[in-house]
Structure 1
Amino acid sequence: MGDKKQLYSFKEACQITGYKDSVIRYYEKEFNLNIQRDEKGRRIFTEEDINTLNYIKSLQEKGYTNGQIKKILNNEEVAITTLETSIIQDQYNKIQDEDNKIKIIEEKLNEINQKLEELDKNVFSKERDILISENMKLKMELKQKCYEIIELKEKLKYEKQSKKGFLSRLFRK
């Protein structure tokens, strides 16, 4: 017996994760998620895909940036952190002078702060791009609604004129 995996539509994935469809499309690219497609090109989400999206959400809620989340998903963050920690510890142990130890710690803290500032700039830039994209989408929808209103006004105007013409012809005779 082959066990059948649970599959979810795009709409179901949005409902389960609480993400908008545009956010999921963005995250698919941002985090290099490999979402399956059906024969018509529509996304099909597995339980693993849903779990990954929920994991991303939980990391965001804990304050991680997209860059950090990407590294965590690729198992890079832990390796880099462990390597950097061991290098710093080795340097620290080799130095006997307390003033030099403090100086090295301050330098490393400055490097970390610079990396954090760089990550913040990257996240802000990407968030701004998402907002701009959402704004353009809303503007396009608004424009479409305006065209629909104009079209309805024209239809209403035409119907008023055609009824008025019929009544005036009826009462003239």
Structure 2
Amino acid sequence: MEEKKNYYTFKEVCQLTGYKDSVIRYYEKEFELNIQRDTKGRRIFSPNDLNILLQIKNLQEKGLTNGQIKKILMNQETAITSLDAVVAFNDNDIDENDQDKIKLIEEKLNAINQKLEEIDKNVFSKERDILISENMKLKMELKQKCYEIIELKEKLKYEKQTKKGILSKLFRK
């Protein structure tokens, strides 16, 4: 059975995530990760830090942008903090009124999460539509340039034929 570590070295995190060291340093800034340092100033990664990096990689593989991933990570932190506060109560400390409040909070959190998922889908859909439209514009420009190249080749061919005709007429006489 694999033992859970208290921390991971920079090299271990690179191997486990498949990221280069420069990418991890970039993501530390980009996603505002609070990576701890040892007494010599070297990064030491907690299991939570590793999980965040693996989650970033997973979301990127699904096609999400860094901006979208940032929003997801921020929303998860907020949701986790809210749920932790709810879970922190002991069953003995909660009366029926509190249980109703907790259920209401959970329902509202679920509704918020559903709305966030819808927003993420809409944003992703809009970005996809923009990319498709830009792609079509570029294809049209490429097609136009191909036609221009063909036209220029034809003109060049005609010019070569006309020059050969004039020169051959001059030297035959």
When normalised by structure 1's length, the TM-score is: 0.50
Give the Cα–Cα distance (whole angstroms) in 2 for the partners of residues 120 and 50 of structure 1.
27
Counterpart secondary structure, 1:76:
helix
Matches within 5 A, 1:1-173: 47-49=21-23, 58-61=58-61, 63=62, 65-66=64-65, 67-71=67-71, 76-89=74-87, 94=94, 96=96, 105-167=106-168, 173=173
Give the Cα–Cα distance (whole angstroms) in 1 for the partners of residues 156 and 149 of structure 2.
11
Gaps of 5+ in 2: 1-18, 28-52
How far 1:154 sits from its partner (Å)? Answer: 0.4
Gaps of 5+ in 1: 1-16, 18-45
Large movers: runs of 4+ above 6 Å: 97-101
How far 1:158 sits from its partner (Å)? Answer: 1.4
Give the Cα–Cα distance (whole angstroms) in 1 for the partners of residues 70 and 108 of structure 2.
26
- For the 8 Å contact 2:59–2:69, the answer to whether it is kept is yes
How far 1:149 sits from its partner (Å)? Answer: 1.4
- Tell me the equivalent position of 1:26: none
How far 1:152 sits from its partner (Å)? Answer: 1.0
Give the Cα–Cα distance (whole angstroms) in 1 for the partners of residues 63 and 86 of structure 2.
23
Kindly name which structure, 1 or 2, has the bigger radius of gyration based on alpha carbons.
2
When normalised by structure 2's length, the TM-score is: 0.50
Identity of aligned residues (%): 15
CA change 1:64–1:138 in 2 (3 A) is closer
CA change 1:140–1:162 in 2 (3 A) is same
Give the Cα–Cα distance (whole angstroms) in 1 for the partners of residues 63 and 151 of structure 2.
47
Number of aligned residue pairs: 124
Counterpart secondary structure, 1:147:
helix
Give the Cα–Cα distance (whole angstroms) in 1 for the partners of residues 57 and 138 of structure 2.
23
Give the Cα–Cα distance (whole angstroms) in 1 for the partners of residues 63 and 168 of structure 2.
71
- For the 8 Å contact 1:65–1:119, the answer to whether it is kept is no
CA change 1:101–1:64 in 2 (3 A) is farther
